[in-house]
Amino acid sequence: DAKTTQPTSMDCAEGRAANLPCNHSTISGNEYVYWYRQIHSQGPQYIIHGLKNNETNEMASLIITEDRKSSTLILPHATLRDTAVYYCIVRDFWASYDKVIFGPGTSLSVIP
Amino acid sequence: KAGVTQTPRYLIKTRGQQVTLSCSPISGHRSVSWYQQTPGQGLQFLFEYFSETQRNKGNFPGRFSGRQFSNSRSEMNVSTLELGDSALYLCASSLEPGAGNTIYFGEGSWLTVV
């Protein structure tokens, strides 16, 4: 089962910041938070990941709360091409195997 | 740098046939995993390979098999196809196993079984 919960859907106006929340209240100290998105009919696209600190790259920013129980993915200036399903997952650094478990994700609609 | 490449992208097979899907990981990546994605079940883990060894297998019947070659390329095979095998099959790669290594997905192979 997925260890994260996300809103089912969100809307965002084009050009505005899209803030996508994720709850991972049972996260352990060894677990990373990863974000992916999937545009219909395509493979999931990696966006960003973090362990404790906030992270930023050319696509997005990731804000992780101090207690690490939740995080927010920020797309600073959403465009129509950002319309997709966004998945927040946790991955255990010490797991004996390596697999991703996606939950239902958040369907983000960017509105013109 | 080329991403994860999967072939074929689309294919249609008949019930009872078998199919082989191919995956070329990102150059330098030695860990490859496979997933099945359907609207009803979401993304489900099939298997994971590292250095030609299957490290873990998901809860799928024995009709689903895979392998990894010395150049890290991987194939998965589904025998005796059933209608329920219609899905998007995704391959993913990373440098090595472990949460510190980002997993990158290919565009997938769309399999339709008729």
Give the pLDDT confidence of B43-93 residue by residue, as tens digits.
Answer: 899 999 999 999 889 999 999 999 999 999 999 999 999 999 999 999 999
Structure tokens at B47: 């298997």
Q: At A80, phi and psi to the nearest 5? A: -60, -30
Mean pLDDT for A44-56 is: 94
- What three-state secondary structure class fits B82? coil
Region A43-68: mean pLDDT is 95
Q: Are A93 and B33 within 8 A, CB to CB?
A: no
> Does residue B28 have a pLDDT over 90?
yes
pLDDT at B46: 94
Which of A 62-101 lie inside 8 A of B, CB atoms? 91-93, 95-101
Contacts of B104 in chain A (CB under 8 A): 46
Tens-digit pLDDT profile for residues A84-112: 999 999 988 766 666 778 888 999 999 99
A23 CB burial (10 A radius; 0-12, 13-18, 19+): middle
pLDDT given for residue A83 in this prediction: 97
Q: Can you give the pLDDT at residue B24? A: 98
Statement: residue A33 has pLDDT above 70: yes
Instruction: Kindly indicate the confidence band of residue A68, based on its pLDDT and cuts at 50, 70 and 90.
Output: very high
Would you say residue A4 has pLDDT above 70?
yes
- Mean of all residue pLDDT scores within chain A: 91
Distance (Å, whole) CA B84 – CA B13: 12
* Chain B neighbors of A49, CB-CB under 8 A: 102
Q: What's the rounded Cα separation, in Å, for the pair A41 and A35? A: 18
Any chain B CB within 8 A of the CB of A40? no
